[in-house]
Amino acid sequence: MTAAVRYDEVEVGQELPAADYNVRRLDLVMYAGASGDFNQIHWNERFARMVGLPDVIAHGMYTMAQAGRFVTDWVGDPGAVVDFGVRFSSMVVVPDDDTGAVITVSGVVEEKLEDKRVVIALTAKSGDVRVLSKARAVVQLT
Amino acid sequence: MALNRDFVGKSYGPTAPYEVSRVKIREFAAAIGDNNPVYRDKEAARAAGHPDVIAPPTFPIVFSLQSGGEALVDPGLGVNFAMVVHGEQRFEYVRPIRAGDELVMTSTITDIRTAGQNELLTIRSDVTTVEGEPVCVTYNTIVERGGAA
């Protein structure tokens, strides 16, 4: 494992610049196929409304994957991620248009651990709504 | 409806081996829009110190859905799938999953609780190779909306 980020050069409180990730209906269809999660609330607007949702919503795991991508893009080697957990605090509603929704992810170095590991606290928003809470990744730096 | 608390502690598996392929990893990486070459290019993965292409951190969901699913459809547990959304997810990695892995999983229902009008159920899944090498542990909490109403 060869993380591009050096432990000695990271400080608690250091911010990781925010990044935007688009999520369109097409992305949800691709994610359904790749993950095997064909729950209709992720692609069938009629069904989503029938069970009390405002519209089709993104798979929570799609949002978590974007947060993961944010971390792995920062650290360089995805193999450096040793722990990754989130709570899905709000739904990402995905309208049936060409732009869909935007998930904005940002992060901050929350803690430096032993063995050159750090805790990244993640924030993910869609519009003004926090869609992840308790989102943390522990990464092994060099 | 309320979930059956008698199922806390019940285990499922081990599953039949799941063979991790380069094709599936590439498909999953494409679906999440991630172009990192260590998911697609064996040489890039080797240059990063891995024996073959590795999988994105959230890839275990591909096969943990199958095993966790076995628990969720257990008759008598009482899950109404139409009302289920994902509550929490966590992965603890021993090492990255990589192409060529043959993985088996044992899942245990560790907790069922009520939060407001919802029912929450947590499944822990231990993922190892068929040889018994630990690879990762996943914790999946689902929410049955209105289940406790």
Does the residue B32 lie in any domain?
Answer: no
Q: What is the DSSP string of B123-138?
A: EEEEEEETT--EEEEE
Higher model confidence: residue A66 or residue B67?
A66
Residue A16: its pLDDT value, please?
Answer: 97
Architecture of domain A7-23+58-140: Roll (3.10)
Q: pLDDT digits over B60-85, tens only?
A: 999 887 666 778 888 899 998 878 88
Q: How buried is residue A71: exposed, middle or buried, by Cβ count under 10 Å (0-12/13-18/19+)?
A: buried
Does the residue B50 lie in any domain?
Answer: no
Distances (CA, A) of A99 to A10, A43, A102, A106, A123: 36, 15, 8, 21, 22
Query: Is B147:B3 a contact under the CB 8 Å cutoff?
Result: yes
Does the residue B134 lie in any domain?
Answer: yes
Does the residue B47 lie in any domain?
Answer: no
Decide: helix, strand or coil at residue B103. Answer: strand
**pTM, two decimal places:** 0.95
- Confidence bin at B148 (pLDDT 50/70/90): confident
Q: Do A60 and B93 touch (CB under 8 A)?
A: no
* Binding-face residues of A in 91-130 toward B, CB within 8 A: 91
Q: pLDDT digits over B6-24, tens only?
A: 999 999 989 999 999 999 9
Residue B84: its pLDDT value, please?
Answer: 85
- pLDDT, mean over chain B: 93
Residue B67: its pLDDT value, please?
Answer: 63
**Arithmetic mean of pLDDT, A129-138:** 97
Task: Measure B10 CA to nearest chain A CA, in Å.
Answer: 23
Q: Do A88 and B86 touch (CB under 8 A)?
A: yes
**Arithmetic mean of pLDDT, A92-112:** 97
pLDDT at B36 over 90: yes
Does the residue B44 lie in any domain?
Answer: no
pLDDT at B2 over 90: no
- pLDDT, mean over chain A: 96
Residue A2: its pLDDT value, please?
Answer: 66
- What is the C-alpha to C-alpha distance for residues B88 and A87, in angstroms, rounded to an integer? 4
Q: Do A84 and B57 touch (CB under 8 A)?
A: yes
Task: Measure A82 CA to nearest chain B CA, in Å.
Answer: 5
Chain A residues with CB-CB distance to B88 below 8 A: 85-88, 134
Domain count, chain B: 1
- Confidence bin at B122 (pLDDT 50/70/90): very high
Kind and range of the H or E element at B25? helix B22-31
Residue A90: its pLDDT value, please?
Answer: 95
pLDDT at A1 over 80: no
Mutate to test the interface with A, among B63, B81, B89, B141 (most CBs of A within 10 A): B89
Does the residue B35 lie in any domain?
Answer: no
Q: Which domain holds residue B100?
A: 5-20+56-144
Residue B147: its pLDDT value, please?
Answer: 87
* Binding-face residues of A in 44-63 toward B, CB within 8 A: 51-52, 57, 59-62
pLDDT at A47 over 90: yes
**Arithmetic mean of pLDDT, A127-141:** 97
Query: Is A80:A45 a contact under the CB 8 Å cutoff?
Result: no
**Arithmetic mean of pLDDT, A112-135:** 97
Q: Do A36 and B62 touch (CB under 8 A)?
A: yes
B79: domain CATH number is 3.10.129.10
Residue A31: its pLDDT value, please?
Answer: 98
Chain B residues with CB-CB distance to A78 below 8 A: 36, 38-39, 54, 56-57, 96
Task: Measure A79 CA to nearest chain B CA, in Å.
Answer: 5
Task: Measure B97 CA to nearest chain A CA, in Å.
Answer: 9
Residue B5: its pLDDT value, please?
Answer: 95
